[in-house]
Chain A
Amino acid sequence: MSHDRHALRRPAHAIEAIRLRPLLVITIAIVGFAYAATHGGFVLASLWLIIAGSLADPGGKWRQILPLAAGLTLFGALVFVYGLGVQVPLWPF
């Protein structure tokens, strides 16, 4: 059997289809967050991350995304910046 002789070979598997939308949107959202956090402060960075990141899912609705972004930003600011003392400015000024 040829299978046994090639002990380290195996049949090829096709790579699953790649969907660019989540891949690109999430990556751009994270990179944008990194820049915004140092130049624009935590609030802008977090809003950007959540609003931009939400676009990765085609089913998103604005009336869900906006309150979610506001709520998570408030939570993040209270818990991480005030509570745990992460060194990041809150506002750009």
Chain B
Amino acid sequence: MTFFDLLMLGFSEAITPANLAFCLLGALLGTLIGVLPGIGPTAIIAVLLPITFFLPPLAGIIMLAGIYYGAQYGGSTTAVLVNLPGEASAVVTTLDGYQMARQGRAGAALAVAALGSFFAGTVATFAIAIAGPTLSTFALSFGPAEYVSLMVFGLLAATILASGPVLKAIGMILIGLLLGMVGTDQATGAERLTFGAIELFDGIDFIVIAIGIFGFAEIITNLERSGSEGVKLAPLSRLWPTREDFRNSWGAVLRGTGLGTLLGLLPGGGATLASFSAYSLEKKVSKHPERFGTGVVEGVAAPEAANNAAAQSSFIPLLTLGIPSNNMMAMMLSAFMIHGITPGPTVLTNQPEIFWGLVASMWIGNLLLVVINLPMIGLWMKLLTVPYRLLYPAILLFCCIGVYSMNNRIFDVMLAAGFGLLGYVFRKAKCEPGPLLLGFVLGPLLESNLRRTLLIEQGDPSIFIERPISLVMLIATVILLGLMILPSFRKTREEAFQEEEA
């Protein structure tokens, strides 16, 4: 089938009433959680994961994807109107977006953000459609040895691109790998780290960890901040940007889209990293960098385009290689697994409707989001006045039901409560728990591929440096490790993330 036929297949899948409805639902939910500060896409997707089990595979995945990129749209709304990032990736949007709002140009900022995001989403959708088949033919030549090296590289790279100290990120990954080992060993049948508990023989469910660490722990830390009152907001002005706004922002949108699409591909990359990098790039190429932070339209256009592009392009490694690059993609991977689908090159050939349906739904979702966000903006802003104290009991209930419904047993709920405490400790210790999820998901994959390689080679590890692709990955890993230890690189990395913490 040609490219065009496949794209048509995708659209015919995505446009069925049920799939369209789930796409809309995902986009609405994504906007909702994007608008509401304190509720992130990771927590909500963790809550909804068990529910997708009751849906057809494509519908569930379309909805979850919609939540992720929808949150990028919604996050900008809060950032511009109340100077609160609804989403981590919208932090930089507050810098210039809120200043624009104070000058009475809130409408222009929101419209540029939405239209820039739509453009970026369209480009990123095409990037997936083009890169998907190309990369997956490449991935078909991967043996277990290549996968091992790729995963080692991915895990290490994820720590560098995550914010916060590298040592803590590596620690999180190791804990994740350890948690992934719990249960009966597939090859020998030996029990590992089960402490004799029958409930742990099948290992720990991804949802238990995700809801514990991201759902419960997030509720507890949010309540500590005592920000449970709703917020007051600025009045909204005329919506359409001026001709000058358009002229100033199109270059920024193009650069943001390009940078975002590339950064989304990297392990550990994703929407947040992309929006920060796009903002600093824009500041560097600008003729008047001193005006950034006072309400320039480029400072809104670039990061908003970049975060949306990256949110979508981060699907590429997952869909083509079957390897999630950040914690959101780890969630998506487990959404596929719930339905017994292992994402990767074989899905493209055996179940093309899944891949192409998802790609087509992303473009439709972006179109829906522009409609949801621009004319309906007043409605979303009303939601901001709902206090958190009325929202969190609902999230708490959905979390509990979600965990319980996986296996219908209280043990999982108790375990999730335990992971909630653990997640709380991590937050207090300033350990970003994202890499833990990545390690947990990749651990079993890494282990089984490593075993397979060594089994084929009868215990001889030299294959890792004899296969060229594997060798390149390992050299890249060593270079990364070397860079991390170099003081000058560490300094620049810390400076790059300083803006983020401010």
Contacts and interface: CB of A to CB of B under 8 A. Distances in A.
Contacts of B417: 27, 30-31, 34
B54 A26 contact: no
B490 A60 contact: no
B228 interface: yes
B396 A30 contact: yes
B51 interface: yes
Interface stretch (B90-98, B154-162, B215-223, B452-460): B215-223
B97 to A, nearest CB: 28
Interface residues of A, number: 45
A7 B165 contact: no
A39 B313 CA distance: 47
Given A4-B487, A15-B429, A88-B408, A76 B396 contact: no
Contacts of A19: 224
B397 A72 contact: yes
Interface residues of B, number: 41
A60 B397 CA distance: 17
Nearest to A84: B54
Interface stretch (B79-87, B123-131, B195-203, B386-394): B386-394
Contacts of A88: 404, 408
Interface in B40-98: 51, 54
B400 interface: yes
Interface in B393-423: 393-394, 396-397, 400-401, 404-405, 408, 410, 413-414, 416-417, 420-421
Nearest to B486: A7
B400 A22 contact: no
A72 B394 contact: yes
Contacts of B486: 7
B401 A86 contact: yes
A88 B410 CA distance: 11
A82 to B, nearest CB: 13
Contacts of B410: 34-35, 37-38
Contact of A54 (B389, B421, B428, B490): B389
Which of B165, B396, B487: most chain A Cβ within 10 A?
B396
Across the A-B interface, the 5 shortest Cβ-Cβ residue pairs:
A22-B223, A34-B413, A34-B410, A30-B417, A86-B405
Interface of B: 51, 54, 165, 167, 216, 219-220, 223-224, 226, 228-229, 387-390, 392-394, 396-397, 400-401, 404-405, 408, 410, 413-414, 416-417, 420-421, 424, 428-430, 485-487, 490
21 contacts: A4-B487, A7-B486, A10-B165, A22-B220, A23-B220, A30-B216, A30-B416, A37-B400, A37-B404, A37-B410, A50-B396, A53-B393, A53-B396, A57-B228, A59-B389, A69-B393, A72-B397, A80-B405, A84-B51, A84-B54, A84-B405
Given A7-B485, A7-B486, A56-B220, 5 more contacts: A3-B487, A23-B220, A34-B410, A56-B392, A57-B388
